[in-house]
Structure 1
Amino acid sequence: MRDLNQTSQNLLRSAVSRRTILRGVGAAGAGAAAIALGDITSASLVRGPEIGARFQDGTPVTGGVLRLTGHQDIPGLSPEDAGATVPFVAIVQIFNGLVELDENLEFQPVLATALPEVSADGLTYTITLREDVTFSNGDPFTSADVKYTMDWIMDPANASISAGAFEGIVTSVEAPDPTTVVVTLAQPNAAFNALIGATLILPSTYHEATGQEAFAQAPVGTGPFVVNSFDPAARVLLDANPTHFRGRPLVDQFQLDVVPEASVRAEALENGEADNSIWALTPEDAARLTEDPNYKTYSTLNFAVLHFPLNNEHPILSDVNVRRAMMYAIDRQLIVDEIYLGAAQVATSNLSPAVATYYNPDVTMYPYDPEQAIALLEESGWVAGDGDVRTKDGQELTFTISIPAGDSTRRGVAEVVQEFLLDVGIEVQLEEVPVAQILELLPAGEADAGLFGWTYGDGGDPDAISVLSTDGSSNWSSYSNPRVDELLQQGINALTQEERIPIYQEIQQIISDEVPFLYIAFLQGLTHFSNRVQNLPEEVLAIDELYKKAYTWGLDPAS
């Protein structure tokens, strides 16, 4: 293991006291925190209670305010704003999909009466809808709303964040009668349930009349809660929907406060001012709460990979030797051991071992080897000079990483990586940028690099076509490889595990060889709930999905 220079040593030694430890990041990183897990093991499949469950004295408990905190601003409350974890948790209280992935990674019908029926050729899906559903403004829910939603997403004029997931896959959506939807695909698609599960249904009449921008501030959905008040930088307050088709929520209100600093979120939990932090706490706070019997702790292996997306069209970062050199230059095991205290694994490629069926451990590895990093840089013509930074044809080897504004923990890991890279002659500038802006800049190729924990293999499915394909809507690295595009298409067209496994294992090998982004670690996540929250399942496999069941949670009146 390398000897860190003084700056890096100070960063690591002071990480806990400065509260700059990395937390789990990205859409699947809700509540992730890195600590030594002890007797906590990865969650097993256990069903949660149904709504209306009775408490210790046999009486249903209703009323009160469920209070959550998260670190991100919430730009809007429409499905278009659900790309980041904190907005997602609020938005799934307001809207439903036809089906949904539950906390045990199984698809369940929601607005549909059953999972879709698929034709023998795998091209036609028929979905039967519930007849007892209304939107919160009183409009009836029908097949016209499903068709409208999918057509709106697929209309290029709307620039939907979900458009890439439909492009080249769905050819038509028909509503032959009020309770039937028929979706026709261009080719068989093994991830179809995931596609419609991620599609939250809009009220066609209200959305069309209101327009997307106004709708995002005052949305109407079929979900268990309705909007009371909304301040993007401060609080979302939702009221129980008394006409929700699955029953009125047990709590009266769902409150989500924006609290950027992890230590403040921990204090809110311990002071009884919050019931849960959606986003990670620091390791020291997480360790303390895990040992405290007043909190319930969930431990899950994240689907996300902590990584630095790199603009592969950047004049410096387009060189695969530079990207490989950076992988060799970063002591990722040190980051796992010293920052995550062992509660993580060095990442091997794009897919987490949480997606066990498709995970490939036999890929190109990058052990910490600064000499190999230097050799690769010199092979590409980057030579050492009088200063710390290498040059080539008069150009310095430097680029900028955009990190989320106000996120001290991610800045901490970026600063450690910055030191590792400078040791081999690569200068990195760090700039803080609002998350929403980073999500716009990276796909547009207008940023050099970022720091994410974006998910590849969400919900246990290995499909990453929106992230790794050339035209993917979430291709943060502007990565393009015709073979990967071909494999991604084959992967979603194949309908059996036996066909899909070698496809996704080859993708992992290619990604590890070409390094379109710097993958750092697979994180173990911890999420804490106050014991005031009742009706939580004993264990879960997917924390993000658990929040869809908030309408079934009650509050202990004695606390």
Structure 2
Amino acid sequence: MIILKISNKKGASGVKKKYVYSLFAVCSLVLAGCTTGQTQDSSEGGGEGASGTSGNEYTFIERQEMPTADLSQATDTVSFSALNNVYEGMYRLDENDEPQPAGAAEEAEVSEDGLTYTVQLREDATWSNGDPVTADDYVYGWQRTVDPETASEFAYIYEPVENAQAVMDGDADLDELGIEATDEYELEITLERPTEYFDNLLAFPVFFPQNEEVVEENGDDYAQTSDNMVYNGPFVLADFDGPGSDTEWAYDKNEDYWDADNVSLDRVNVNVVKEASTALNLFQDGQADEITLSGELAQQMANDPDYLTVPQASTFYMEMNQEDEDSPFANENFRKAISYSIDREALVNSVLADGSIEPSGLVPSDMSENPETGDDFTEDAGSQIEYDQEQAQEYWEQAQEELGEDSLEIDLLADDTDNSRRAQEFLQESIQDSLDGVSVSLSPVPFSVRLDRSTSGDFDMALSGWGADYADPSAFLDLFQTDTSNNHGHYSNEDYDQQIDEATNENANDPEARWDNLVEAENIIMEEQGVVPLYQNAEAHLRADRVNGLVTHPTGAQYDYKWVTIDE
């Protein structure tokens, strides 16, 4: 909510308005990955440090509550990591980030034009209540997610599927979605256009099956606790008492899972601990097998034998709410002033200190390559991000003239973890030191509150995080088309929209032309600072040396515990 305060400072009209804006930090990283995709074991991250918990269990310290356990409603890394371990789709990403048949008996048969996928499902897959997992479960899950009544924020990712957009817009019936059960264990999927990363989408939780009978029987209570769901993955959710509030839950081995013989762990314990120092004490006392470090603690523990850095294909950035044309964030010069005021090198090296790096733009590095030259996307797009306090002040002075304002008060509402608090304080100091007349106050809130406020548009500027759902620049650039559900700041540019539309449609089957569209889109949004990139995320971890085989992914759901083994 925007609150206006009137001061007695005189402007051109004789009275000067001073605005108080809520600066809302979302940090809802939808799909943050971790490593370069390789399995990490004791030879890569563990040493002779803490022994971790006892028995054939693995205990992970999470920094946030789980906002939802509903496949159709999840938008964040915590939820997607959970869902990836208790559910399974047609494919599952392996240790090299390659999609492999899982719920499917074999790789899909794809038509020559790339528009039709025929999938044979394995017949030995069952739900945890004994029901078989059938083609109808996939059809129901997909239809439930794109149904406008579900109001799924991630429904947009179905856009390559035939009639998905029409269904979401209310212009087509659910049964017109391009997925059909042609037999009890056979699916036919029809696409609007060839989509080179579609196999990766089939390994993403939003595309997983759902048990219609269980969903409908539980109604509004569905996915509110671990007891009113059924599962088809390597584990089942246990001891989960409510989204957004529960601070302890677990994943128990699913004895009914078709590949249970290759699941070693009996249980994964998840405890939410927001104070990094407390988490470190738990690890050193042997009460946790893995924790995430940040800031000073990450620097202090960098030489510990259990220390490892897990880079991610994710970018943190500031979104500014531009929906109201009277908002100062609708002013390009003000957005640029904020961007130029931030010393990103100091942010990643002195504040975060966890392996995160400075970004060159919205799309992260080491994620996607030019289909012709093999060059990284960031090389082709170049960089339009810079720290320059004098330039920041010049842009601010131009914005003051255009806005008819000489001061702004901004409230920074953000994540309530230790790491986020440090970032908030750094941004507060950066903006206030560079922009004379801009004041920033701090108001940290719980994770679920931030997500809700971001989704509802109850913010003026948001520190947001996004991790790639799949290894393609469109995973980021599609977010900021006009009126897309995750464009929380309502950035809008016709040329930007056109580039994304061409990449999505007419150039979908022309990799080089499509690449050029995406590079141009990146340049447009960065030239205007429609969003302000802050850093490319990485995490500093301590992992007990008894833990082997943990697979983490830079794109898609972050953690996969299926192959973890414990040295006793």
Fold match, TM over 0.5?
A: yes
Q: Deviations over 1:99-143 (max 9, x none)?
A: 133342211221112333322233222222111100001111000
Match of 2:459 in 1: 447
Amino acid corresponding to residue 26 of structure 1 in structure 2:
L
Match of 1:18 in 2: none
Q: Describe how 1:121-160 pairs up with structure 2 within 5 A.
A: 121-160=113-152
Match of 1:518 in 2: 532
Check 1:228–1:360 CA distance in 2 against 1; reply closer, same or farther (3 A cut): closer
Say which of 459, 467, 473 aligns to 1:462. 473
Amino acid corresponding to residue 149 of structure 1 in structure 2:
G
Q: By how many angstroms is 1:74 displaced?
A: 1.7
Local SS of the residue matching 1:157: coil
- The answer (yes or no) to whether the contact 2:308–2:542 under 8 Å persists in 1 is yes
Q: Describe how 1:212-361 pairs up with structure 2 within 5 A.
A: 213-217=221-225, 218-231=228-241, 232-248=245-261, 249-277=263-291, 280-287=292-299, 289-293=301-305, 295=306, 297-314=307-324, 315-341=327-353, 343-357=355-369, 358-361=376-379
Check 1:394–1:75 CA distance in 2 against 1; reply closer, same or farther (3 A cut): closer
Say which of 547, 564, 567 aligns to 1:556. 567
Match of 1:411 in 2: 421
Say which of 471, 474, 478 aligns to 2:486. 474
Q: Deviations over 1:262-287 (max 9, x none)?
A: 2212221221111112xx31244335
TM-score (norm 1): 0.81
Match of 1:200 in 2: 208
Distance in 1 (CA, whole Å) between partners of 2:314 and 2:473 is 12
Match of 2:51 in 1: none
Local SS of the residue matching 2:132: coil
Distance in 2 (CA, whole Å) between partners of 1:492 and 1:402 is 35
Say which of 359, 375, 389 aligns to 1:370. 389
Q: Describe how 1:422-437 pairs up with structure 2 within 5 A.
A: 422-423=432-433, 424-425=435-436, 426-437=438-449
Distance in 2 (CA, whole Å) between partners of 1:228 and 1:342 is 31
Check 1:545–1:393 CA distance in 2 against 1; reply closer, same or farther (3 A cut): closer
- The answer (yes or no) to whether the contact 1:402–1:432 under 8 Å persists in 2 is yes
Q: Deviations over 1:135-173 (max 9, x none)?
A: 001111000000000111111011123212124743221
Say which of 1, 6, 29 aligns to 1:26. 29
Check 1:145–1:348 CA distance in 2 against 1; reply closer, same or farther (3 A cut): same
Say which of 165, 177, 181 aligns to 2:183. 177
Q: By how many angstroms is 1:403 displaced?
A: 0.5
Match of 2:545 in 1: 531
Local SS of the residue matching 1:174: strand
Q: Deviations over 1:514-533 (max 9, x none)?
A: 11222112234333321122
Q: By how many angstroms is 1:543 displaced?
A: 8.3
Local SS of the residue matching 1:436: helix
- The answer (yes or no) to whether the contact 1:360–1:508 under 8 Å persists in 2 is no
Q: Deviations over 1:366-404 (max 9, x none)?
A: 432222222222223349xxxxxxxx5467423333211
Identity %: 27
Local SS of the residue matching 2:361: coil
Match of 1:380 in 2: 399
Amino acid corresponding to residue 374 of structure 1 in structure 2:
Q
- The answer (yes or no) to whether the contact 1:301–1:523 under 8 Å persists in 2 is yes
Distance in 2 (CA, whole Å) between partners of 1:195 and 1:242 is 27
Q: By how many angstroms is 1:219 displaced?
A: 1.7
Distance in 1 (CA, whole Å) between partners of 2:102 and 2:256 is 15
Check 1:546–1:158 CA distance in 2 against 1; reply closer, same or farther (3 A cut): closer
Unaligned segments of structure 1, at least 5 residues: 1-21, 32-41, 50-61, 384-391
Local SS of the residue matching 1:346: coil
Local SS of the residue matching 1:327: helix
Paired positions, count: 495
Q: Deviations over 1:49-87 (max 9, x none)?
A: 9xxxxxxxxxxxx96322111011123322245422223
Distance in 1 (CA, whole Å) between partners of 2:383 and 2:252 is 51
Check 1:167–1:471 CA distance in 2 against 1; reply closer, same or farther (3 A cut): farther
- The answer (yes or no) to whether the contact 1:165–1:473 under 8 Å persists in 2 is no
Amino acid corresponding to residue 403 of structure 1 in structure 2:
A
Match of 1:88 in 2: 80
Check 1:205–1:341 CA distance in 2 against 1; reply closer, same or farther (3 A cut): closer
Say which of 413, 421, 440 aligns to 1:402. 413
Match of 1:70 in 2: 62
Local SS of the residue matching 2:149: helix
- The answer (yes or no) to whether the contact 1:325–1:377 under 8 Å persists in 2 is yes
TM-score (norm 2): 0.80
- The answer (yes or no) to whether the contact 1:28–1:302 under 8 Å persists in 2 is no
Check 1:349–1:205 CA distance in 2 against 1; reply closer, same or farther (3 A cut): same
Distance in 2 (CA, whole Å) between partners of 1:101 and 1:473 is 27
Segments of 4+ in structure 1 off by > 4 A?
A: 28-31, 45-49, 287-290, 543-546
- The answer (yes or no) to whether the contact 2:85–2:235 under 8 Å persists in 1 is yes
Amino acid corresponding to residue 475 of structure 1 in structure 2:
N
